[in-house]
Structure 1
Amino acid sequence: MTSERTRVLLWTYLPGLVLMAGGLLVFGKMLDDVREGDDFAAADQAVLDWLVANRSPWMTNVLAAITFVTGPTVLPILVFLACAGWWWWRREWWRPVLLAGAMIGSTLLGVVVKDLVGRPRPPEDTMHIPGAEHSASFPSGHTLGTATLLLVAGYLVCSRRRSTARLVGWGVLTVVGTVLVAVSRLYLGYHFLTDVIAAIGLAVAVLGAVSIVDRIHTGPPTASSDGRSADPAVVVPGNG
């Protein structure tokens, strides 16, 4: 009984706690660097200056489009449509609600941290559109939102139907999508390097919290008739 209880507790909490600890460790490191002005923060201005000095018209157009789509105007609409479509197509409520909750939670978390840290934005003369951003700089909200969406949505899909191809696809999409948005924020002069790295750390921590909540809801895997582990979190149409 004790060993079974330990197995259940480890399955439920350990992966999420590891993700939360790792994400918060990255975030804490970036925050400390910003306050001390050393390590990663010492490279902030150099990275910003290099990207601004190497802008090109076509790259600016591409990255401006990416930053617009992942901003506070368009991304919430896309998330709402995705969650509503998920609910309608699969006839389930749990995963769409969990995704929406993660996005709302990460947004509120980003706003609170911005207000508490109060880091100024890069100089306006480095911004693609001077004065376009007025909120605090740390962490990057665009990067936090995009990374949270890709990480959490990918987890909610891959945890139900595991396959190597799906996991690899999720990993590639998450890395490429997050990096593109992070680079767009740096390239357009709206954030520093430490802002986007801190945002990624927070997104990983959010994924860890989502994993714990989801596993508490679904319960631990059980043994199938052929002796292999079967995940009860597999959802069929009509189930929550």
Structure 2
Amino acid sequence: MAVDANENTRSRFRQKFVVEERYLPLESRRALYRAAAGLIAVGLAGFTVLLIGVLTHTGLEQLDTPVENWFDSLRSTDVTVFMIVLAFVFGPIGMPIIILIVTVLWLILAKHAWRPLVLAVGMVTGVILAQVLAPIVQHPRPPIGLMLAGPDTSFSFPSGHVLGVSDFFLITAFLLASRRREHRFTVAAFTVAVLAILLQVFSRLYLGYHYISDTTASMALSLIILGTVIAVDTHRTVRIPGEPVEGKHSQIERDGT
């Protein structure tokens, strides 16, 4: 009995790390690839335009100060407290904890580890991009006197807070909605993602730590990451009925968790 139990445990563990395979019509797979290509193209174009604007002080970068002044005019005690809490929850301290909890729980509950691992890799990619690009671009933050939660002298392009929130909510929305394939669920998931991103953008501008060019660049980068995730996930998991499958383990598109 003990031998059987150990063998069952090992079998479940092995299956956990077998990449799920799901069946979709050929046109659906092509649509996913088109969506991925479109997101990457839009993200690259948007980020390139924003980067050139920041480096040459043209384009959207010229709106940085007027937009910052407008957000400064909205400040009130209650809103400031809420925005500071939001910045902490989705900042460099709170966000890693959220990601760790979500990833670990998803790994435990899901039949396959593919999706939580994809989420983790997508998040790490965003962190690396933010850390590499900021010192290269060297875009200064708003004046320290405008910052409402302590001084920050690091460079601001792109916004790590906005990039982290964008990656987390957009990738999670895709990984959940792509398996359920229910229109209302997809709309709800991406609506929550967009609202969360916009709220974080508002927070960073309101608190005086970023300009509109910084936060918009982060959203553009997140589109690139999301498009890449969609392309990789589609290539690895989507199979056409009748198409040869990779390995012995496959599953119908609904996975439950």
What's the TM-score once normalised by structure 1's chain length? Answer: 0.87
Once residues 70 and 251 of structure 2 are traced to their aligned partners in structure 1, the CA distance between those partners, rounded to angstroms, is 50
The answer to whether the 8 A contact 1:86-1:96 is kept is yes
Aligned to 2:237: 218
Structure 2 vs 1, CA of residues 127 and 219 (structure 1 numbering), >3 Å: closer, same or farther? Answer: same
Once residues 7 and 168 of structure 1 are traced to their aligned partners in structure 2, the CA distance between those partners, rounded to angstroms, is 21
- Is 2:96 aligned against 1:96? no
Between the two proteins, what is the percent identity of the paired residues? 31
Residue pairs, 1:11-160, within 5 angstroms:
13-131=33-151, 133-160=152-179
Q: For residues 29-61 of structure 1, what are the alpha-carbon distances to aligned partners after superposition, in whole Å with 9 as ceiling and x for unaligned?
A: 111111222221111001111211320000101
Counterpart pick for 1:193 among 202, 208, 212: 212
Give, as a single letter, the amino acid of the residue that structure 2 aligns with 1:194: S
Q: Where in structure 1 are there 5+ consecutive unaligned residues?
A: 1-5, 224-230
Q: For residues 108-156 of structure 1, what are the alpha-carbon distances to aligned partners after superposition, in whole Å with 9 as ceiling and x for unaligned?
A: 011111121111111101111341x232100100000000111100000
Q: For residues 66-85 of structure 1, what are the alpha-carbon distances to aligned partners after superposition, in whole Å with 9 as ceiling and x for unaligned?
A: 11111011101111110111
* 1:12 Cα deviation from its structure 2 partner: 6.2
Give, as a single letter, the amino acid of the residue that structure 2 aligns with 1:222: P
- Is 2:183 aligned against 1:164? yes
SS across alignment from 1:49: helix
* 1:175 Cα deviation from its structure 2 partner: 1.3
Give, as a single letter, the amino acid of the residue that structure 2 aligns with 1:24: L
SS across alignment from 1:160: helix
Q: Where in structure 2 are there 5+ consecutive unaligned residues?
A: 1-25, 243-249
Aligned residues: 225
The answer to whether the 8 A contact 1:11-1:220 is kept is no
User: Considering only CA atoms, is the larger Rg found in Structure 1 or Structure 2?
Assistant: 2
* 1:235 Cα deviation from its structure 2 partner: 5.1
Give, as a single letter, the amino acid of the residue that structure 2 aligns with 1:115: P
SS across alignment from 1:171: helix
Aligned to 2:253: 234
Give, as a single letter, the amino acid of the residue that structure 2 aligns with 1:211: I
Counterpart pick for 1:205 among 213, 224, 234: 224
Measured on the aligned residues, the alpha-carbon RMSD in Å equals 2.2
Give, as a single letter, the amino acid of the residue that structure 2 aligns with 1:32: I
Aligned to 2:197: 178
The answer to whether the 8 A contact 1:222-1:232 is kept is no
